[in-house]
Each structure stands twice: as C-alpha cells, then as structure tokens.
A and B are shown apart, each in its own frame.
Chain A
Amino acid sequence: GQQLNQSPQSMFIQEGEDVSMNCTSSSIFNTWLWYKQEPGEGPVLLIALYKAGELTSNGRLTAQFGITRKDSFLNISASIPSDVGIYFCAGQDGGSQGNLIFGKGTKLSVKP
C-alpha cells in the first residue's frame, strides 16, 4: 500500500543531543501526525498538525507541517534516555475517511 518516506531509518545519539527526522510524500495530506511506539505497546500520539506551515511544540518536541502539504519534520531537543523508541509519521487525507498512512518509522537510541 501507499507509504510515506521517513528518514532516517535509525539514529544513535548521545544524551543531550538534538534529533531531527522527517517525512515526505508524493501526495498531499490535510493532517500530519507524529506517534511514538515503545516495545510491546501501541503508538502514542505526540503531535497533530492541521494546517500547512503550522509549527507546534509539545515540551521538547517540535513538529512542522510543510507548506506544500507533502512533508513534515519532528525535532527533539536535549534528548534523554526515555526518548528511546520508534517514531512514526502519519498522514491523513481527512474528509469523511480517517485512515492513516504511516511512514516506516525512525528508531531512536539514546546513549546515556
């Protein structure tokens, strides 16, 4: 099925470093979302973006909805060990159907 291009695939960083990951699509989306998944659990919503150009923060996390509506990025500042997990971007067309198209994820490892 259709998928988003998410990069990087994995990151190994030192505690305290900043992290950046992004997603691109050949299709326009009306909503971009970022989820985090830890082992044995379901994806947890981090940030939802509803308007092109929108920049939204949630604590140390900042995400932006690209102007073209075909991309989004997520930044994590001053990483800590509990940031470890897999981060997924997801796009939603909106309208009357809510199904999400997911990227393949960015696996983040943080070295204390």
Chain B
Amino acid sequence: DSGVTQTPKHLITATGQRVTLRCSPRSGDLSVYWYQQSLDQGLQFLIQYYNGEERAKGNILERFSAQQFPDLHSELNLSSLELGDSALYFCASSAGAADTQYFGPGTRLTVL
C-alpha cells in the first residue's frame, strides 16, 4: 500500500459526459501528479501540482483540468468525454516538487 488513495476505482460513462477523479496523497506529501495509461500510449504525464499551485503540464487535453485543494487532495476533471479517453488514470504523490513518486491504485475510466 503506497499510501496514495484514489476514488472511484472504476467509472463507466457515456460520450459527452463529465467526470471527476479524486486523489489523496500520502500523508505529508505536497506534490500530486496525474498520469494517463492507455494501451497505445503507455504511461503519460498529464499535470503536476505542488502545494496548491500548478507546477508542470504535460500532454493534458484542454477538455481536462485539475486542481489541488488546501488539504492537498486533488481532483482531475474530464469533460466532453470521447471513446479515446478510456484509460487508467493514476495519481502519484511526492514529498517535494521533484522527489520520488508513489502511485495510487488508479481509476479505470470506460467511455461508452
């Protein structure tokens, strides 16, 4: 158990819908990262937050957004969902802005 929690574990929704994925980092960690894992693209970095502020941005679509709250939990919002958004979404956390990352169990998103 990495100490990173993610909810929900599974999510099934329809095209055009909007969903919110939630992540709680390990106790004491200030950084949260979001990654997408798909069969064709592998593990891809989406976005990083550090102590409430956006720190780095990767291949995140404009339809996707994230935020980190004062209690350090983070949410990833995915809107106008398309079939190709079906993937595993992982959250990771680290103590500082560039420290070792520990991954949560992931949320499997299926868009029908």
- Secondary structure of the A side of the interface? strand
Residues on the B chain within 8 Å of A103, using CB: 42
Q: Mark B37-64, 1 if CB is under 8 A from A, else 0.
A: 0000111110010000001101100000
Quick check: A105 and B56 within 8 Å, CB to CB? no
With most chain B CB atoms within 10 A of its CB, the pick from A45, A48, A97, A101 is: A97
Residues on the B chain within 8 Å of A90, using CB: 43
Cβ < 8 Å to B, chain A residues 44-60: 44-45, 48
| Interface residue range, chain B | 20 to 34
- Report if A100-B45 is in contact (Cβ < 8 Å); known contacts: A1-B59, A42-B2: yes
With A1-B45, A42-B103, A44-B2 given, name 16 new contacts (CB 8 A): A1-B44, A40-B105, A41-B106, A43-B90, A45-B101, A45-B103, A90-B43, A97-B56, A97-B97, A97-B98, A98-B33, A99-B33, A99-B48, A102-B42, A102-B43, A104-B42
